[in-house]
Amino acid sequence: METTIRPGLEGVVAASTRLSHVDGLAGELIIAGFALEELAQKASFEETIYLLWHDRLPTLPELERFRQELALRRALPQVTVDLLRAAASQQIPVMDALRMAAATLSLDSPVGDDAQTEAKTLVARFPTIVAAYWRLSQALEPIQPDPALGHAANYLYMLTSEQPNAAQVRGLESYLNTVSDHGFNVSTFAARVIISTSTDLTSAIVGAVGALKGPLHGGAPGPALDMVFEIGSADRAESYLRAKLERGERLMGFGHRIYKVRDPRAVVLAAAAAQMYHESGDLALYDLAQSVEEVALRLLEEYKPGRKLQTNVEFYTALLLHGLGMETDLFTPTFAIGRVAGWIAHCFEQQEANRIIRPQSVYHGAKGRRWEEYGSV
């Protein structure tokens, strides 16, 4: 029988899902039935989590109960805090700290916790891990979570010890909603493969964090903003970008493997950033970024006609998270804080399918070797 090999599983459909639909040609992202533009700037992150896990929005009493359940699970086990202190003394990257700490989160859970309880613990504690480690790495003590604050607001509070304003909270919630799920990306597929073995949810999520850490998946939103800072003023954009293209360099924040039109996540995050920067009263950086984007798109069409290289999620992710006071090293961990909701939803879906994921391979190695030809005399 002839076998077709699809490197990277390109074009292989491995499952069906109700969680998200990505249409790269139309520039469309649907999350649990809602167009991204409809969901991202209206829902709280708790509502989006509930929607992904239950396939419907919560009632007001359900939402309040869900918020309380998450808030009560934010505090970390002491062993996790000790691990983060040790990691901070070695100045390891934040994503490595998140991966190691996530593996300890079940240590204070009763044996036999149901999957929903385990899921809430993971979602609740991801922001606490990132914020605690960030502060420890800056020689600061962690801030205890505030149960009176929502999920997004509490994360910002634990990073800075200051209460965020409404515009900052809305900006972060829009971001977390936007990145909560995106089809069968690498980390999501990794989580589904792991959970398909009937292992525990924490193991699957740790594996997903490891996959996201890879630069070919987690992305590099920081360099997109670095480019804007290096340009400095709108009148330098064309000469700077043209020189990069002449050298054959990539323009960070542009082009996507799936989207052949403008990434819908970039559209949503651009609007969220505009609102947040407007509320702050300082639009200088936002205006510069828009100018850079306009010139970049024009030059990309000039230098790479027909490639359809459009603005991707990295460009406005960097602008939005920078506006929230985050440094570049926090960008991918903050992405994980949003995506963990989708990872867990996919794990639930895979558990319902109750089928191990076990693709085949084609052997191309040697045959007919005999031990006496190679073994010790």
The answer to whether 252 and 224 are in contact (CB under 8 A) is: yes
Question: What are 8's strand-pairing partners?
Answer: none
Among 112, 107, 106, 105, smallest CA distance to 127 is for 105
Alpha carbons 201 and 346: distance in angstroms, whole number: 11
d(CA 131, CA 325): 13
Active site residues: 256, 314
User: Which candidate, 15, 16, 20, places its Cα nearest to that of 51?
Assistant: 20
The CA distance from 222 to 314, in Å, is: 8
Q: How far apart (Å, rounded) are the C-alpha atoms in residues 96 and 333?
A: 10
CA distance 201 to 329: 26
Residues 6 or more apart in contact with residue 308 via CB below 8 angstroms? 260, 261
Contact yes or no for 137/221 (Cβ under 8 A)? no
CA angle 27, 344, 324 (to 5 degrees): 65
**CA 245 and chain centroid, separation:** 29
| 20-23/28-31 β-pairing | antiparallel
28-31: strand order across its sheet: 20-23, 28-31, 34-35
Alpha-carbon span 198 to 11, nearest angstrom: 26
